[in-house]
Amino acid sequence: MKKIKILLVLFVFCFALTGLNKSVTIVNANTGESKASFLMDYNSGTVISKHNENERLKIASMTKIMLLLLCYENIEAGALSLDETIVVSKNASNMGGSQVFLEENGEYLVKDLIKSIIVSSANDASVAMAERLYGSEENCVKKMNEKAESLNLKNTLFSNCTGLPKPMQYSSAKDVALIFKELIKHSNYFEYSKIWLDKIDHKNNSTELANTNKLVKFYDGCDGGKTGYTSEAGFCLTATAKRGNMRLIAVVIGSPTSKDRFGEVSKMFNNGFNNYENKAVVDVNSYQNEFVKVKNGEVSQVEIKPKNNFYVFSKKGEDANVLIEQNVNKVCAPLKCGEKVGEIVVYSNGTEIGRVDLVSTKDVKKLNFFGNVLQILKEW
């Protein structure tokens, strides 16, 4: 295995990920009057601030974050299409609370139902999607809990897909942030989460949609999130905002008023953006052209590049040395574009903080018989 070690002295930072140096201080303080809160960096997973982050609490309609995650996973797997038409059941159309007044036996596109959930927190659309995905809300809840278990969430249990009051249903600020992090890996989510005003059409009329997450309009960089409210849960909010290379996720549970939840999350975002940075230490776009030899290929070498960017999150004004180790495997044809041919390992102060795959930028076919003969003659 070929190893190339490149020592980069960068004006980057000290890190707060598990196993890194500890210059990023996790603030255990509440910025408002909520029961629990949590602020994290999306790319690295670094926790910036937390308050009662593991306490099991009612989360109201933030429950729908898990439902949406299952929707997008099914779309990605090809088991669900945004352009598919769903016939709404009587059970779904009769759901109370937040709703878009779906008509019993009415036909609606999946994309309109998902939009209704994301923008207006529609309970009727949520149950309609749960029934489409798994046959019933009960079966959907089982899948939601299985997904929570697979994500190793220790403080989450669902008993419905809407967040409407029901016994034995809870989550925590940290767990909600981690579920939301999984959701926003699906870029299609942002097609709807940034909508401020829209509508959903019925057979003879329409329902106006207004985004319940007011920060989408009033906070610079906020492009997604999910609100929630019941008398038991209080006012809840999960939101994400992106500025430059840095995306943050904030969660508050149990704020006393709607204004308080938006104000507290805004303060959390301000703390993150004002005091921390994300630096790309592996950048796909600026990666210098590198080639690897290909054995038995129609071409002798192929260009490689990192599969994705790698960011280092830390406090502004602090610096550290970063070591990049590039390991390239022996490569034989046939080779597919995007196939892994090695990896980049990133270290901070001797501690590994992440890995990025190196991939081929082209397909390389294997030499046929005559090509092999020609190659032998050339070498001979």
pLDDT recorded at residue 321? 73
CB 133 within 8 Å of CB 69:
no
Active-site option among 35, 50, 58, 64: 64
The mean pLDDT of the chain is 89
pLDDT recorded at residue 378? 58
pLDDT recorded at residue 17? 35
CA end-to-end span of the chain: 27
The residue ranking higher by pLDDT, 194 or 300, is: 194
Does the active-site annotation cover 150? Answer: no
Active-site option among 121, 172, 348, 360: 121
Mean pLDDT value of segment 315-326: 82
CATH architecture of 2-15+283-379: Sandwich (2.60)
Cα separation, 79 vs 85, whole angstroms: 13
Does the active-site annotation cover 121? Answer: yes
pLDDT over 90 for what percent of the chain? 70
Write the CB contacts of 370 (distance below 8 Å, at least 6 apart in sequence): none
- 165: cis peptide before it, omega within 30°? no
Does the active-site annotation cover 61? Answer: yes
pLDDT in tens, 272-291: 999 999 888 888 888 888 89
Active-site option among 37, 61, 98, 116: 61
Backbone CA torsion sign across 32, 171, 119, 68: positive
pLDDT in tens, 2-54: 444 333 333 333 333 333 333 455 556 566 789 999 999 998 899 999 999 99
Q: Quick one: CA torsion of 27, 31, 33, 38, rounded to 10 degrees?
A: -50
Cα separation, 278 vs 41, whole angstroms: 9
Map out the domains of the chain as residue ranges.
2-15+283-379, 36-277
Cα separation, 58 vs 268, whole angstroms: 21
φ, ψ of residue 207 in degrees (nearest 5): -115, 130
- Going by pLDDT thresholds of 50, 70 and 90, the confidence category of residue 370 is low
pLDDT recorded at residue 130? 98
Q: Among 46-60, 193-207, 358-372, which is the least confidently predicted range?
A: 358-372
Q: Among 48-52, 62-66, 338-342, which is the least confidently predicted range?
A: 338-342
Topology at the third CATH level for domain 36-277: Beta-lactamase (3.40.710)
Asked, colleague to colleague, whether 2-15+283-379 and 36-277 share their fold, the answer is no
